A and B are shown apart, each in its own frame.
Chain A
């Protein structure tokens, strides 16, 4: 079964074509890494898929739904989660409060005005359980802005996961992390439920090749190459854009 199908997606910024006829088909449970140099259109592609930008043309399907015209929150409710390249947390809320909001986003009590106690207790229990599962319980009462950068990236992943997504888009989860911190984050991603489909933007080749089932290489808004890690590794064009055409 296909989890996410992107068909011929195109987006312009003024005169610049940032995403140029991208087509990607990702089966359920796959770990797909999107590789590409700066300006290849990777983050723009994620913003189109999650609905923060509207595409100029093309279509996006999430399982059985055409989500091309849906608002970001509607896509999220259909099971689309994401993290951001620039850490996007709730600076003054604690880790527990943040995770509880993420749990609540996928819960029917989302909009409840006058049901403080029963629903709050259920949401808190779910949030506590997630913190315990991902070894963050001892950081539960810390405001997220006071966490180390590595911990913030972990919380960012946890928030995305707490919404119980079926498809998860991770925008450079290890960017700016030390080797040890990156290893923690990679281990976290490896522990994600196997039925969650993961799309991952990654600059670090080692991380990319560790996590990926398949790799798509984006260059100047187009899919340049796609295949297993060995196929992509052997691709001459990929070497050219990463190492320069003189090699």
Chain B
């Protein structure tokens, strides 16, 4: 009941906010939603599957570059761009998953980092195609169809909001399905799941590919948002930021990573205006969260409820 009410209020607020915000603030909100999708996709494997990845930006970036290259080649049809970007991200995740999911824990972290760095290196070095360090500027926003151009800020915001809602609904279905419950079981004890008859590798692999595809969706929207793509979209900094968003908000919760993403985008915006030392602050946030709120912001709320005297 409270949850349904909260969802309704949240949806209404997100739907009506463009009427109240100035265009700069709306741009910030758009960025929050896009990175929320990225964090939510990472959360599927990290929070539900117990699979940490330090290379999640790879799928975000590969989808971004795919769309950017298509758009510069003259293709601006939204559906085709979206489809191509998602397929590129999913294929990358399918390949990386084959290599990376032989390992777990810190080793998984390192191998995903290494694989993503390969893509980063290609984007950085292959100047004739990717523009190298300069990236690819001037990517047009897509033509979505007959009725709806998403060129301006408010309309683009609503496009992002719709995609965000669809992603959230999809993840809700996945984590509540038998598949999602099995994923949590694998996080808790893979060995126990194996002897209960679960093909644990297949579960992890499917989750890995879904997460990659969804990260790709976020990457595509981010390219549209900035009309630009660069190696930063594939960078370890973005992968690590994603991890911090998930952990800050609450890994293994549906809403937590979105809150974490919003908080990080908000803080980055404020702190970057004051100092060049944003990554330092980000690191400090990470240390404080892991020390004092290991279950994240949503976990804090639950813990207080649990310890309240009855």
Question: Is the CB of A109 closer than 8 A to any CB of chain B?
Answer: yes
Report whether A73 and B178 are in contact in the complex, using a CB–CB cutoff of 8 Å.
no
Report whether B191 and A110 are in contact in the complex, using a CB–CB cutoff of 8 Å.
no
Contacts of A52 in B (CB 8 A): 191, 194-195
Report whether A109 and B191 are in contact in the complex, using a CB–CB cutoff of 8 Å.
no
Q: Which of A93, A106, A123 has the most CB of B within 10 A?
A: A93
Report whether B179 and A112 are in contact in the complex, using a CB–CB cutoff of 8 Å.
yes
Residues of A within 8 A of B (CB): 50, 52, 71-73, 76-77, 80-82, 84, 88-93, 97, 100-102, 104-107, 109-116, 119-120, 123, 159, 163
Which of A71, A81, A101 makes the CB contact (< 8 A) with B181? A101
Report whether B178 and A109 are in contact in the complex, using a CB–CB cutoff of 8 Å.
yes
Residues of B within 8 A of A (CB): 173-174, 176-179, 181-182, 184-185, 188-189, 191-200, 202-203, 206
Report whether B176 and A110 are in contact in the complex, using a CB–CB cutoff of 8 Å.
no
Contacts of A109 in B (CB 8 A): 178
Which of A82, A100, A113 makes the CB contact (< 8 A) with B195? A82
Report whether A101 and B199 are in contact in the complex, using a CB–CB cutoff of 8 Å.
no
A105-B191 contact given A113-B177, A120-B178, CB 8 Å threshold: no
Closest Cβ–Cβ distance, residue B179 to chain A (whole Å): 5
A116-B177 contact given A71-B199, A81-B195, A163-B197, CB 8 Å threshold: yes
Report whether B191 and A123 are in contact in the complex, using a CB–CB cutoff of 8 Å.
no
Report whether B185 and A73 are in contact in the complex, using a CB–CB cutoff of 8 Å.
no
Report whether B174 and A113 are in contact in the complex, using a CB–CB cutoff of 8 Å.
yes
Q: Which residue of B lies closest to A78 (CB)?
A: B197
Bound form: Cα–Cα A112–B178 in Å: 6
Bound form: Cα–Cα A107–B177 in Å: 13
Report whether B188 and A163 are in contact in the complex, using a CB–CB cutoff of 8 Å.
no
Closest Cβ–Cβ distance, residue B161 to chain A (whole Å): 23
Contacts of B196 in A (CB 8 A): 73, 76, 81, 101-102, 105-106, 159, 163
Report whether B198 and A105 are in contact in the complex, using a CB–CB cutoff of 8 Å.
yes
Report whether A106 and B197 are in contact in the complex, using a CB–CB cutoff of 8 Å.
yes
Q: Which residue of B lies closest to A144 (CB)?
A: B188
Closest Cβ–Cβ distance, residue B3 to chain A (whole Å): 16
Closest Cβ–Cβ distance, residue A115 to chain B (whole Å): 6
Q: Which residue of A lies closest to B170 (CB)?
A: A114
Report whether A90 and B192 are in contact in the complex, using a CB–CB cutoff of 8 Å.
yes
Report whether A123 and B178 are in contact in the complex, using a CB–CB cutoff of 8 Å.
yes
Q: Which residue of B lies closest to A91 (CB)?
A: B188
Report whether A111 and B197 are in contact in the complex, using a CB–CB cutoff of 8 Å.
no
Bound form: Cα–Cα A107–B178 in Å: 10
Report whether B174 and A105 are in contact in the complex, using a CB–CB cutoff of 8 Å.
no
Q: Which of B182, B196, B199 has the most CB of A within 10 A?
A: B196
Report whether A159 and B177 are in contact in the complex, using a CB–CB cutoff of 8 Å.
no
Which of B173, B174, B176, B203 makes the CB contact (< 8 A) with A111? B203
Report whether A73 and B200 are in contact in the complex, using a CB–CB cutoff of 8 Å.
yes
Contacts of A71 in B (CB 8 A): 194, 199
